Structure 1
């Protein structure tokens, strides 16, 4: 079964952050958004994807912004 999703990309400190926001079918409560964050460092293989769920996001945009912040934290951790 396909789940509605949206993808977003951002660049932070020259690195690419990809965010996939998924809303499972039949979800009545936006708490069930799933956010998958992947970071590509120096145009090399992407980091393992991080899945975040159950955080109470109220919209795709809120989940997207949270994913970007997680990606920025990953980049800061991996490049220092």
Structure 2
């Protein structure tokens, strides 16, 4: 899924989820069994939970209200 995607993930950078919440990418990691690239990120709201998502899924486009949008978009400050 990441074949055509030229975006890269930058640790210590904020990203906005397509549903509107903001997150901070903490690290890149590898899955211990599959060696799949993973993104470790923290919610910037609520209890500030820490999450892990496959890189391809983090970078993928999803369909929202009939439009193709990035699941996560870098916040440029």
Tell me the TM-score range normalised by the shorter chain. Answer: 0.3 to 0.5
The structure carrying a bigger helix percent of its residues is 1
The structure carrying a bigger strand percent of its residues is 2
TM-score normalized with structure 1 length: 0.35
TM-score normalized with structure 2 length: 0.36
